[in-house]
Copies of this chain bind each other. A is one copy, B any other.
Amino acid sequence: MRKRRSNPAYLNGVPELLVLQLLDRRPMYGYELVQAIRAASGCVFEFGEGCIYPILHRLEADGLLKASEQASAGRTRLVYRVTKAGQKQLAEAASAWQKVVATVQQVIQGGSHGQPAMA
């Protein structure tokens, strides 16, 4: 019994990449980020909190994000911003992603015609 997920195919380092990207653009707290991803992707990606929070914690532990408490209407929010190392990592992750995309594209499209081999 093969169960299908709601996401198109579901990804790997993609959530991490998007988190870094969106936080680099504008510091946010977790709950906000979850909705920002949904909005920015036009509901294509719907990463839940159970996906985002662990990533946030890991990224912070790795020194790629920095969290700071921020009281807002009596509620405490943990706002995350990207560190210098995080920006470096973001650039690397983005370029790695581009490479993967380009390679898949190349395999799928390129080399398709002129295939000798007998059909």
Contact = CB atoms under 8 A, between A and B. Distances in A.
Tell me the dominant secondary structure on chain A's binding face.
Answer: helix
Given A108-B21, A117-B26, A9 B41 contact: no
A103 B12 contact: no
Contacts of A18: 104, 107-108
A25 B96 contact: no
Interface string A84-108: 0000000001101101110110111
Interface residues of A, number: 40
Nearest to A116: B26
Contact of A9 (B21, B37, B96): B96
Interface of A: 2, 8-14, 17-18, 21-22, 25-26, 36-37, 39-42, 44-45, 62, 93-94, 96-97, 99-101, 103-104, 106-108, 111-112, 115, 117-118
